Structure 1
Amino acid sequence: MWLISQPDSMILQIKADPNAIGQECLEKVCEKLEIGAEADYFGLRVCPGSGPGRWLNLRNPLDPHRIPGGRLDLRVKFWVPPHLLINEPTRHQFYLHAKLDLTEGRLVVADLEVARRIVAYIAQAEHGDCDPDMPPINIYEECEKIGPQGEKPDDHVEKIIDYHCEISGMRASQAEYRLLKEISNLESFGEELFFCKPVTQFNNAHNLYSHLLYHAQPVEEPRARDDQEIDGGATVGCLAGGQNGGGCGCRLSTSVGVGPHGIVVYRPACNGEQEIGVEKQSIKYTVIQRAQPLRRNFQLSYVTAEGHEATLNVKMATSGQAAALYRAVTEKHAFYCCETVRSDVTEQFIRDLKGTIASIFNDATTLGRRYVFDIRRTCREVHDNARRAAHQAAIDAHHHHAHHHAQTRARRAERGTDTKESRSRSRSGEAAMACRVCMDAPLDTLFLPCRHVACCGECAPRCARCPLCRGEIDKCMHIFLPVEYEKNPGVIIK
């Protein structure tokens, strides 16, 4: 039994065979949540009690010894703009994860006006229309970490209420879509961070992005050298006194962000009140030539803007973090930039001790084989697959509807109610008692002063003259048909 936690803290219990792989577990979760057609956007994350979490490799067997308590988190692994999401349940799961990252500070919004709109969208999706006399203050307080931190203006809550009132009448699904549209424009959208030192309350994504906002002055990117060695063994930080003391209060190590377009190396360079800044180096996927983990080091070779080959070496806290960074770079590059996943990515594997010994005698054995990557489709392939699945579902629903009508007609024919006489009698009865305007709803309105009954309650107010005698209509009166008309099978009563 596996316990899968959703971003809204709801727990799903999933039963899987002892030898099942992670992909089977994810598919069962997505089937319950009705997001199976777009399951490739999601992943299962292992979050141990201490240290950073890691993505479960879905192509390998589930190992209870490496998953504490049998608990996994369902999270969005590959972020895409909301217009690429086909199904409403998928957009809802994206919204839940986005809200979690926003409220816990992992996704930082720099613009205060954008932050207010996001809070208003969350309140509309969670609470509904805003009552200015009783606004959902509890939701506003829950979203306190959204936007630039520090002292807020006095009219901050009032402006959120104004935004909330402006979108009154908006459906919850539409509000969720608007929120996803807002965060898709953020610079850090879809970026996964890897810190060179363990993540703490002072060394995390929220502190890093807040640091970048606090030191907003432009800093030149470091000039590429033939060999850049980044040792993440030490941290640097601003004054511990916080903003009032001349610093932002952060204490960060070097980190690497892996996003949809490339990687970004963040090197905080704070030294008390002097030389406060940050070095931010962006490397696009298109210029990367080679990447590999070497124990604790992550090594990257790329081409600079001048056309020279440069090497980037980042020393991580553990060899597992270096391997996780290598995996993230390879998988995100394949997902966002490639037309299809190449075989040299899907076929990479390592062996454990038993598999290594067995491979000495039989190199083709699968014993102890563990795949390095679990990506199956690219972004384009996932989108096309979801569209085909939605189209096929619409066709199946149409065929089911037609089959249901055919069975209904067959049952009527067996009871003798589908004969020619009954059909003609039914049509004549329907025509006699149907509205003369829409020919659908039953007659239930009397026109005065001509006293003709010719329309239903919806069509009568739109008539200036009687459809039968063309006389002026002074008044409409709702009438009730006798009970025997309701028992007549040839009359439609709605």
Structure 2
Amino acid sequence: MLTKMWLVSQPNSVILEIKVDPNAIGQECLEKVCEKLEIGAEADYFGLRVCPGSGPGRWLNLRNPLDPHRIPGGRLDLRVKFWVPPHLLINEPTRHQFYLHAKLDLTEGRLVVADLEVARRIVAYIAQAETGDCTPEMPPTHIYEECNKIGPQGEKPEDHVDKIIEYHCEITGMRASQAEYRLLKEISKLESFGEELFFCKPVTPQNNAHNLYSHLLYHRQQAEEPRARDEPEIDGGATVGCLATGQSVGGCGCRLSTCVGVGPHGIVVYRPACNGEQDIGVEKQSIPYTAIHRAQPARRIFQMSYVTSEGNEATLHVKMATSGQAAALYRAVTEKHAFYCCETVRTDVTEQFIRDLKGTIASIFKDSTTLGRRYVFDIRRTCREVHDRARRAAHRTAPRAAPPAAPPAAPPARVGHEKTRSRSSSSSSSSGGGGEALACRVCMDEPIDSLFLPCRHVVCCGQCAPRCNRCPLCRGEIEKLMHIFLPMEYQKNPGLIVK
């Protein structure tokens, strides 16, 4: 059977060779990649990215056939598409792939850390994960130099490296997986965590994510403008920062264009506003998903109607460099809203498609034909559904506890004692059969001992309950936790591990 080989690169530059059918869709390729990396249960967090030689990269639509003409060299990049905090990740290989992508973004400057002490801790976690325990006489300076872009840029204090070594020595004995978890925990607190940027002008060494976030740090005074702007349209292609007017003095000399950031909570419009008279850096306009009414692309313009904080209706028009970038921005807003904010993905999202010329002609004669159909979105599950699916998969593959050995046969007893023995044996068997039912629904290991209020469900242990914001059973908000004590016959159950 004929097969087509695709080269899929991980964030650490390790390349996987994936063979699929020539007519396969992108989802089949991603599933084979995740199967090799043992992250199949949480594959929905990831996507395949096409990075051409020039121009911005784009996410491959996994529901459409793989087109060699639109993928240069048959090379794809495996990247995290939907970022979530590390405590929501069930499998360790998934956390490792999150760590590799986070490390790449940190070292290349796409994820900027404002606090110097946090940056030093992050560098120490990377060094611990990569090289293990630190030897003060021979610290891993090559790792420290590789992470030079992490933290505020400019002249570093003289004791900067000594502080990193001190943090590195403090975590001596920490496992690599634990160091990766700590790093993901640190970056999940950043304001730009999980945010994807769409620049109105082409990405250049001067106009990129690193310069934008560094620019925000350079100008301490920032203008938060949730209200609607007076301009009917934002021409991002004509805005290039504080030297756009040709002035030779004043401003900071940046060459940034207007861009739109799409994150887990909403979108943020960044507008450079630097000049000699009012040096305010970058204006930020934050629009949560709950305020958005409608969004759509119209050639190069991305249009969106929303409600301001004052309750007034407003419209946002952003002119992108190409129509493809406007469509990519529309896709990102729709998919991230569905993933982070919805209970399930609606059919009007999953079934939205366009047709090419052949498909349009064929649809004239048969409207239900699939010829030339190309889906607009490829999202299949929400964040909650992915987590529940991974948790159930981990529970199915977890090793079962061996049943207790049967007691030796006892000699015949009198009838009066047989009834007592039969009642005791039935009660013990019922408690033994309830061992699995009394295990924590999250880790499936520790016994349940925490009551959620106000829903009054008891489904988690004392370690997993504080990490839950909603009840895993009814999805209700958790306002308070209460520790409870099981009866002694359940605590002595051999099928449970009692703390």
The 5-angstrom pairing of residues 309-388 of structure 1 reads 309-388=313-392
| Structure 2 contact 114–217 (Cα < 8 Å) conserved | yes
Which residue is 2:94 aligned to? Answer: 90
> Residue 236 of structure 1: CA displacement?
2.9
Structure 2 distance, partners of 1:86, 1:173, is 13
- 1:252 aligned counterpart, secondary structure: coil
Deviation sequence 1:72-120 (CA, Å, 0-9, x none): 0000000000000000000000000000000000000000000000000
Aligned mate of 2:397, from 375, 393, 397? 393
Percent identity of paired positions between Structure 1 and Structure 2 = 88
Aligned twin of 2:150: 146
The separation in 1 between residues aligned to 2:394 and 2:14, in whole angstroms, is 27
Contact 2:226–2:286 (CA<8 Å) still a contact in 1?
no
Asked if 2 retains the 8 angstrom alpha-carbon contact of 1:108 and 1:147, the reply is yes
Distance across 2 between alignment mates of 1:25 and 1:219 = 44
Partner of 2:437: none
**C-alpha separation in 2, matches of 1:130 and 1:224:** 52
Alignment map for 1:60-459 (pairs within 5 Å) = 60-221=64-225, 223-225=227-229, 228-238=232-242, 248-272=252-276, 274-394=278-398, 397-398=399-400
Aligned residue for 2:302, secondary structure, equals strand
Other structure's SS at 1:114 match: helix
- Counterpart in the other structure of 1:58: 62
- In 1, are the aligned partners of 2:124 and 2:168 still within 8 Å (CA)? yes
Q: Which runs of 5+ in 2 are unaligned?
A: 406-499
Q: Please give the alpha-carbon distance, in whole angstroms, between the structure 2 residues aligned to 1:294 and 1:118.
A: 42
CA distance in 2, matches of 1:350, 1:367: 11
Of the candidates 46, 54, 60, which is equivalent to residue 42 of structure 1? 46
Q: Secondary structure at the match of 1:233?
A: helix
Between Structure 1 and Structure 2, whose CA radius of gyration is higher? Answer: 1
Deviation at 1:218, TM superposition (A): 3.4
Shift of 1:249: 4.0
On the 8 A contact 2:251/2:275 being kept in 1, the answer is: no
The alpha carbon displacement at 1:275 in A equals: 3.4
| Count, aligned residues | 396
Mapped partners of 2:83, 2:297: distance in 1: 25
Which amino acid in the other structure matches residue 38 of structure 2? E
Q: Take 2:238 and 2:280, find their aligned partners in 1: how far apart are those partners?
A: 17
SS in 2 for 1:251: coil
Q: Are 1:24 and 2:42 an aligned pair? A: no
Partner of 2:415: none
With 99-108 and 268-277 compared, the bigger mean Cα shift is at: 268-277
1:6 maps to 2:27? no
- 8 Å Cα contact 2:113-2:150 kept in structure 1: yes
Instruction: Determine the structure 2 residue equivalent to 1:482.
Output: none
Q: Please tell me the root mean square deviation across aligned C-alpha atoms, in Å.
A: 1.7
Cα deviations by residue, 1:326-384 (Å, 9 ceiling, x for unpaired): 00000000000000000000000000000000001111100000000000000000000
Equivalent position amino acid for 1:137 in 2: T
Question: Which letter does structure 2 place at the counterpart of 1:99?
Answer: K
Distance (whole Å) between structure 1 residues aligned to residue 199 and residue 243 of structure 2: 21
Conserved? CA contact 1:227–1:311, under 8 Å: no
**Contact 1:227/1:312 (8 A) holds in 2:** no
Q: Any conservation in 1 of the 2:219–2:279 contact (CA below 8 Å)? A: no
Amino acid at match of 2:274: C
Q: Distance in 1 between matches of 2:222 and 2:72?
A: 44
Quote the Cα distance in structure 1 between the aligned partners of 2:258 and 2:271.
5
Distance, in Å, in 2 between the alignment partners of 1:209 and 1:141 is 21
Letter of the structure 2 residue corresponding to residue 201 of structure 1: P
Residues of 1 paired with 2:364 and 2:255: CA distance? 49
Q: Give the C-alpha shift of residue 271 in structure 1.
A: 2.1
**Native 8 Å contact 1:102 1:108 kept in 2:** yes
Partner of 2:454: none
Go from structure 1 to structure 2 and tell me whether the alpha carbon gap of 1:371 and 1:162 turns closer, same or farther (over 3 Å shift): same
Q: Give the deviation of 1:189 after TM superposition.
A: 0.1
Tell me by how many angstroms 1:272 deviates.
Answer: 4.3
More deviation, 126-135/228-237: 228-237
Question: Under a length normalisation based on structure 1, what TM-score does the superposition of the two structures give?
Answer: 0.78
Alpha-carbon distance in structure 2 between the residues aligned to 1:273 and 1:183: 35
Q: Residues of 2 paired with 1:175 and 1:225: CA distance? A: 44
Q: Check whether the contact 1:226–1:311 (CA below 8 A) recurs between aligned residues.
A: no
Distance 1:140 1:200 in 2: 26
Aligned partner of 1:179: which letter? L
Matches within 5 A, 1:478-493: none
Partner of 2:490: none
Task: Give, in whole Å, the separation in 2 of the partners of 1:239 and 1:333.
Answer: 35
Aligned mates of 2:128, 2:276 — CA distance in 1: 43
Q: Whole-Å Cα distance in 1 between the matches of residues 149 and 207 of structure 2?
A: 17
Letter in 1 for 2:144: Y
Q: What is the alpha-carbon distance in structure 2 between the residues aligned to residue 145 and residue 273 of structure 1?
A: 31
Deviation (angstroms), 1:274: 4.5
SS for the counterpart of 1:15 is strand
Structure 2: how far apart are the matches of 1:135 and 1:10? 26
Mapped contact 1:226–1:309 kept (Cα < 8 A)? no
SS in 1 for 2:223: coil
Tell me the CA shift for residue 238 of structure 1.
4.5
Q: What amino acid is aligned across from residue 398 of structure 1 in structure 2?
A: R
Query: Contact 2:111–2:210 (CA<8 Å) still a contact in 1?
Result: yes
Shift in Å, 1:277: 2.2
Q: What is the letter of the counterpart of residue 169 of structure 2?
A: C
- Asked if 2 retains the 8 angstrom alpha-carbon contact of 1:254 and 1:268, the reply is yes
Q: CA deviation at 1:234?
A: 1.9
